[in-house]
Amino acid sequence: MTGFLSRRDVFKKTLASSPALLGIGDLLSRLPPVAAAAAKLSGAVQFDPSIEPLVRLLEDTPREKLLEKVAVRIRHDTSYQDVLTALLLAGVRNVQPRPAVGFKFHCVLVVNSAHLASLASPPAERWLPIFWALDYFKNSQARDVEEGNWTMTPVKEFFVPDAPKAHASFVAAMDNWNEYGADASVAALARTAGASEIYEIFWRYGMRDFRSIGHKAIFVANSWRTLNCIGWRHAEPVLRSLAYALLNHEGDNPANRDAPADRPWRRNIELVKTIRSDWCAGKPEPAATKALLTVLREGSDQDASEKTAELLNHGVAAQSIWDALFAASGELVLRQAGIVALHAVTTTNAIHYAYLTSANDETRRLAMLQNAAFLPLFREAMKGRGPVGNGRIDTFEAEFAKDGSATAIGQIFAEATNDRSAAVRKALGHLDKTHQPRALMDTARRLIFLKGDDAHDYKFSSAVLEDYYHISPGWRDRFLASSLALLRSSGEPNNRLIERARSALVG
């Protein structure tokens, strides 16, 4: 099995074609030819010895026996952190983020979402999201085998640049969509640079283009968050996978053509320079939120970015911009409760996380401009998935239940089984009446454990429940209520895994 570093001649060609890669191409031209057999990479990338045996257990154990074997390890003092680490690394080594960053690669993308669900769960249910993700990894691993059995191979150490050259080499490779140069350079960064320095680069490339409907930005945010939990010593293979994923594209090199997926970034790199330097000092303006929401609802991606810049230059607070972006993503779910709208929500969550985490002023402004541009693109992409309704997040009416709070929540999730619109209205009524979202959130999360059978259940619910608190009070209840169009309902059957996971944990 080979990974994406399997042909030395291609590596040589791409390195030599990039003058910013510091003369490596000239050096290669003076090397003697290498026989094909000698040039082949053997084996797979190896992880830290402290975690490699557990990763192997996940890789080698049949799907029908994995949960029970991991449960035995847990009872013998294998930690939550170790299981989470092995889960991420097994996905990174065994599942290719191609032909698009998504599909089978969700076994990697979902790890942080499952972790967030675990953190917010009662102790008795804390392992359930992780066990679900373990089983999901085995499904993705099997799919990868069917599609060619890709495996991440070791870094070609000869091509890893020295520390002073790593940053420039990596940026040059990413700008030129050179996956071979990026792989060697990001390995050098992982070994010599600080985590924040590295992710300041990745925040930008994660939101650079609209390919894979937002999964690139999602992978950047989720990898950062998971590495913060499992430890930076595991970063190198994760960063290699991330760089490889971000360079996914169709057709010819995007650096040499004007593809629609790249146009917002190219425009916004110039537009961002026009935003006033004191944009952080803006004041909240509810009317500005509504004005931007209108553009996001009706205008083009360019209109949305330009309106965002205009409002910031008129002294509108960034929070008012983000309120519109979150509201627009929730509205798309109301208009078509499907996979595209779902990713409008999870992508907004990821780009907002980049905005909160980056220390680079320009990157933070770009996050707003890019997110604003992406939402009309999501809206247009929905048209290829079926009818798009005309629901509006700012005008749908609340419906009030007569019973007490606990009963009302039961009604909401029961209603969602057959009538999603009614569930949305009742959720808003409950929130308007009680001003207490916690019980509704806890029920939504528990139903994911019981009913969820897809990575998107975890990704969507984790994004919505987290972002509720990032939205101003005037919008957050409507945003949360809109999620009932996609959250799991109480009338759906339990997934087949739940009892097996509980049984395994009890022993």
Count other Cβ atoms within 10 Å, centred on residue 300. Answer: 14
What is the SS3 assignment for 283?
strand
For the segment 241-300, what is each residue's pLDDT rounded down to a tens digit? 999 999 999 999 999 999 999 999 999 999 999 999 999 999 999 999 999 999 999 999
Q: How far is CA 276 from the centre of its chain?
A: 30
CA dist., res. 83 & res. 88, Å (int): 9
* Of 4-13, 298-307, 442-451, the least confident: 4-13
Peptide bond into 99 cis (omega under 30): yes
* Residue 229 Cα to chain centre, angstroms: 16
- 149 torsion bin: left (phi>0), alpha (psi -120 to 50), beta (else): left
pLDDT confidence of 53, banded at 50, 70, 90? very high
Q: What is the distance between the alpha carbons of residues 234 and 218, in angstroms, rounded to a whole number?
A: 19
Closest CA to 455 of 231, 49, 463: 463
Query: What is the pTM assigned to this prediction?
Result: 0.91
Residues 6+ apart with CB under 8 A from 419: none
Confidence band, pLDDT 50/70/90 cuts, at residue 88 = very high
**E strand or H helix at 365:** helix 361-382
With 80 as the cut, is the pLDDT of residue 22 above it?
A: no
Q: How many CA atoms lie within 13 A of 446 on its CB side?
A: 14
- Whether 213 shows a pLDDT value over 80: the answer reads yes
Tokens for 72, please give them.
């035995």
What pLDDT digit, counting tens, does each position of 103-139 carry?
999 999 999 999 999 998 888 889 999 999 999 999 9
Q: How many residues are there in the chain? A: 507
How high is the pLDDT of residue 406? 64
DSSP-derived letter for residue 336 is: -
What's the Rg (C-alpha) of the chain? 23
Burial bucket for residue 428 (CB in 10 Å: 0-12, 13-18, 19+): buried
pLDDT band at 34 (very low <50, low <70, confident <90, very high): very low
